[in-house]
Amino acid sequence: MAALSGGGAPWRRGWLPALQLVRRGSKAVTRHWKAMHFQRQKLMAVTEYVAPRPAIPPCCLPPKKETPEEVNFDNGYVRLLRRQVEEVFRDNRMIAVCHYNAMPDEDMVLMRYYLRKHNIAVKFVLNEIARPVLSQSKYKNLLPLFVARNILLVSPELKAKEMLRVLKGVPQVSLLGACIDNTILSRQGVENFAKLPSLEASQGQTVGALALLPSQTSSLLQRGSAHLLALLDQHIHRLRAGESGSPTEPTPAQDVGAH
């Protein structure tokens, strides 16, 4: 008993049984993917959330001002594009801004062909590239036209009439305005400009109008002297008739002598 009740008894020292790991048998996976029921699919489609449309379309909102973070994206390629826009506005006398809608490639090629026959080129310019250039130039009044997707029709000559004739058959391209000889015109202004006669005809009309007034003035100045010359010729004729002794009316000289 003493031996059993000694101080070294394990149950007095808080002995615990050894832990044993028991490995249970693994079960097979019995849950597989199953297609959703047709009725539930319809219910999920009907109850799907649809975001409301904005009251004002994004294209109609005023352009967002550039922030300093957006200005920092400038790189060499952007500077090259801006330099090309500056050259377009510097080297051409007619720059027309048009709104461009999607159209087949064949129609675009045909339109460019007919415009090229009149020495008119088509330029695709991004608004992000054109707006900074125009805001620092004398063409800044054209900025309201660069809102949506636009194209430029440029020419070193004044070909407004030919341009309108080609655009009449292309409804996908609408003329918004133009800058002709450093003068900004609206669509109606471009149409009125196209109705004007050619430069040679205008110069001929101007020369004719300027030559008409001097000719009328010269005829008025010569009318008095011509009338006086006719009266003197008639007086000399009467004097000669009186010297010949023919019984004619008394001449003005005889009347003066009688008095």
CA 232 to chain centre: 73
Q: Is the pLDDT of residue 29 over 70?
A: no
Q: What is the mean pLDDT of the chain?
A: 79
Q: Minimum mean pLDDT among 42-46, 210-214, 246-250: which range? A: 246-250
Secondary element (H or E) of residue 175: strand 173-180
Q: What is the pLDDT of residue 68?
A: 46
Provide the whole-model pTM. Answer: 0.52
Domains and CATH numbers, the chain: 77-194 (3.30.70.1730)
Q: What tokens were used for 175?
A: 């003329």
Given pLDDT bands bounded at 50, 70 and 90, which one contains residue 54?
confident
Percent of the chain with pLDDT over 90: 24
Average pLDDT, integer, range 25-29? 59
CA separation for the pair 134, 152 (Å, rounded): 14
**Region for residue 14 given its phi and psi (left: phi exceeds 0; alpha: psi -120 to 50; beta: otherwise):** left
Q: Minimum mean pLDDT among 43-57, 81-95, 129-143, 213-227: which range? A: 213-227
Q: Is residue 94 within 8 Å of 180, Cβ to Cβ?
A: yes
Higher local confidence (pLDDT), 29 or 193: 193
Residues 6+ apart with CB under 8 A from 105: none
Q: Is the pLDDT of residue 116 over 60?
A: yes
CA separation for the pair 48, 68 (Å, rounded): 40
Q: Is residue 99 within 8 Å of 173, Cβ to Cβ?
A: yes
Quickly list H helices, 72-158: 76-91, 105-117, 127-135
Q: What tokens were used for 219?
A: 């005829």
Q: What is the pLDDT of residue 155?
A: 92
Name the one residue in this structure whose structure tokens are 């063409």: 139
The model's pLDDT over 152-199, given as tens digits with 9 standing for 90+, comes to 999 999 889 999 999 998 889 999 999 998 889 999 999 998 888 777
Q: Is the pLDDT of residue 43 over 50?
A: yes
